[in-house]
Structure 1
Amino acid sequence: MFRPASVLAAALLSLPFSAHALESGPKSPLPVFDLQRLHLDPAALGSLVVATGRTLAAGQLRVSLNYHYEHLPLHFQTRWEPGDGTGLVENKMTAHLTVGLGVLSWMDVGADVPFILSQGGKPTLEYFGPDSGGLATPWLTARAALLRQTKGAPLNVAVALTAGLPVGSREALAHEDSAWEPRLQLGYVGDGFQVGGEAGVFLRKRRDLGPVSYDPRDVVGNELRLGATVTSLQGETTRGEVSVLTGIPLDGGRVGAELLIAIRRHALSSLDLYVMGGPGVGAGLDTPTFRFVAGVSWATSKVD
């Protein structure tokens, strides 16, 4: 015998279980790309992140070890809301080993090898964010000076090429099949200060994260990357730096920018201690709302 009241009661009782089953259902993997935007300059002759057209002296070696924290490096929002919101990656900690070597008086080479210590966030729609650590994309750089103030030129001008090795962890969202960044760098060293800037094009495969956020502007791909810095050269022990980094998407997406302030302390003639931090500005999905770096570097001779 059909009993409408019994059927209705059974349907109502099943709603919480159906909702829970839907909520805890399988999640889709994210498109794979390298989430890390910041590349430390192995030579650090300009600021820690923006070069000024200078190269390490022939035979000069600089090695650094860095701790790197990022807040909300992968999030989806339509406007800049510092410190607000949740993300697929909310907190990320990375260790960076960098090595720079002067090959010739006008050429140096370098490497930035990041290793993700930990990261975590909250699922978005049907997607889980990465929750594992591991090796991230290592970056190799070669730089050649075209003009040098030490040779009578009015400015320091250099060209650099940075390439990512396709060995980073896919599970940790730290892998690029192919990534290149040619850059033009220039700067001027004055009495107790230097200014500099660089412009480059970051070339990588386009990934559409619109299916994750349901927003067609959430895209990672080719970018025009610009940087500028002012650094102090006054004093024997302490040096201040201010740098600005901007990414302008060429394949769709949103503009992201960062302001980073650093202080270096020359503990010894060959040993530097430093801290750097600042906010991210803009609604770029891979621009953190804040980052902090602390590190130590050793060089065969004083870098600045």
Structure 2
Amino acid sequence: MFRTSMLLPTRLRLLSTLALLPSLASAASTTAPAFDLERLSLNPTSRAALGTAAGSLREPGELRLALAAHYERSPLTLYRDGERMDSLVGSRTQVQLAGTYTVSKRFEVGAILPLMAHQGTRGFSNVGMTSPSSWGLGTPVLQGRLGLLDEASAPVSLAAELAVGLPVGNKDALQGSGGWDVTPRVSAGRTVGPVVLGLEAGVRLRNRTAVGSNSVGSELPWAATVATTGHKLRGELGLRSAVPLTDSPMPMELLAGGRYALGSRMEVFALGGPGLGTAPGTPAFRVMAGLSVSALQAVQPVMRPRIAEALPPTPA
């Protein structure tokens, strides 16, 4: 009798433990949220600056291609009561392919294809979550730019833009949410002495996703740049931020860089700087470097004198 009474609590504890196993296994295999962690939207094929298009377009008939390597440090960090706890994503290395074709003096189209080469996600296992994939396809972006004003005949250069992120980015690698990512924006610029002042603002429309205590989703991104206008070497300084339309901190980044022309068709560029704030996608710092080339340029028509003007005068 005594032995039976002793075994009963033991069996009850065993049954309770077995009943908890499915929930413990589920908690241990919690997957990371599906969203696009990348915030930076550069213009490596832009004529004015890397940070903004400054309302300008390239020459009609020109096809500009760019290849860039992109590194971020700690773009996703865990905070508790405002104190930094751990980096869920310690680092990210991407390769970006970009291209722009200027159809006319008022319209150009472009595309950006990001590829994740590696990301360190060891921090996810420390909080009981399945680590995202370390590589994968990013969110491809198709974009168009319509020139509205040109500072040659107006106070500023002004352009309306539309960028559409396709829903094919790898959700398992924090490269997309499975939904569309649409950003209409306006960019403006003006040349003041040896520099170009650029400003852009828009609306980024995307799915809302809970990321810890924050919520990543639609926002109002903006950027401001100042860039020099030299023929060989050009420098720039830019500030990027966004006003979140969800429960998320405001991101901010200060980026400085430069471009160096290698002849009339090719240039190399580099950009980097710190991130400020705790919003998901804001790194401790980032650096980007690459090259761009004019794969196709419009052939300027050769002005020839009329035949009548080229012939010697007829003697009287």
Give me the TM-score of the superposition, normalised by structure 1: 0.84
Counterpart residue number, 2:133: 131
Counterpart residue number, 1:246: 241
Is 1:223 paired with 2:222?
no
Structure 1 unmatched ranges of 5 or more? 5-21
Counterpart residue number, 2:14: none
Q: Per the alignment, in what secondary structure is the counterpart of residue 129 of structure 2? A: coil
- What is the deviation of 1:78? 5.8
Structure 1 residues 188-203: aligned runs within 5 Å: 188-203=190-205
Counterpart residue number, 1:120: 120
Structure 2 distance, partners of 1:50, 1:252, is 27
Partner deviation per Cα, 1:283-302 (whole Å, 9 max, x = no partner): 11221111000101101459
Q: Per the alignment, in what secondary structure is the counterpart of residue 79 of structure 2? A: coil
Letter matched to residue 65 of structure 2 = V
Counterpart residue number, 1:175: 176
Would you say the 8 A contact 1:42–1:110 is kept in 2? no
Structure 2 distance, partners of 1:24, 1:279, is 37
Letter matched to residue 208 of structure 2 = R
Would you say the 8 A contact 1:64–1:98 is kept in 2? yes
Q: Per the alignment, in what secondary structure is the counterpart of residue 131 of structure 1? A: coil
Structure 1 distance, partners of 2:227, 2:127, is 44
Shift in CA distance, 182/125, structure 1 to aligned 2, threshold 3 Å: same
Q: Per the alignment, in what secondary structure is the counterpart of residue 33 of structure 1? A: coil
User: What do you get for the CA RMSD once the two structures are aligned?
Assistant: 2.6
Q: Per the alignment, in what secondary structure is the counterpart of residue 86 of structure 1? A: strand
Q: Per the alignment, in what secondary structure is the counterpart of residue 153 of structure 1? A: coil
Would you say the 8 A contact 2:44–2:292 is kept in 1? no
Would you say the 8 A contact 2:219–2:243 is kept in 1? yes
Aligned sequence identity (%): 34
Shift in CA distance, 269/221, structure 1 to aligned 2, threshold 3 Å: same
Counterpart residue number, 1:63: 65
Q: Per the alignment, in what secondary structure is the counterpart of residue 171 of structure 1? A: helix
- What is the deviation of 1:145? 0.9
Would you say the 8 A contact 1:78–1:283 is kept in 2? no
Would you say the 8 A contact 1:39–1:112 is kept in 2? no
Deviates more, 1:139-148 or 1:188-197: 188-197
Shift in CA distance, 248/78, structure 1 to aligned 2, threshold 3 Å: farther
Would you say the 8 A contact 1:76–1:285 is kept in 2? no
Q: Per the alignment, in what secondary structure is the counterpart of residue 116 of structure 2? A: strand
Would you say the 8 A contact 1:243–1:259 is kept in 2? yes
Letter matched to residue 172 of structure 1 = A
- What is the deviation of 1:181? 0.3
Counterpart residue number, 1:258: 253
Deviates more, 1:115-124 or 1:159-168: 115-124
Aligned length: 279
Structure 2 distance, partners of 1:24, 1:183, is 42
Counterpart residue number, 1:267: 262
Larger Rg: 2
Structure 2 distance, partners of 1:87, 1:219, is 18
Q: Per the alignment, in what secondary structure is the counterpart of residue 182 of structure 2? A: strand
Structure 1 residues 87-98: aligned runs within 5 Å: 87-98=87-98
- What is the deviation of 1:25? 6.8
Counterpart residue number, 1:145: 147
Would you say the 8 A contact 1:197–1:228 is kept in 2? yes
Letter matched to residue 159 of structure 1 = A
Structure 2 distance, partners of 1:119, 1:40, is 20
Structure 1 distance, partners of 2:68, 2:81, is 31
Shift in CA distance, 297/79, structure 1 to aligned 2, threshold 3 Å: farther
Is 1:283 paired with 2:284?
no
Counterpart residue number, 2:210: 208
Give me the TM-score of the superposition, normalised by structure 2: 0.81
- What is the deviation of 1:129? 3.4
Letter matched to residue 132 of structure 1 = S
Would you say the 8 A contact 2:28–2:130 is kept in 1? no
Structure 1 distance, partners of 2:27, 2:198, is 51
Counterpart residue number, 1:9: none
Structure 2 unmatched ranges of 5 or more? 7-23, 299-316
Structure 1 distance, partners of 2:257, 2:297, is 21
Letter matched to residue 158 of structure 2 = V
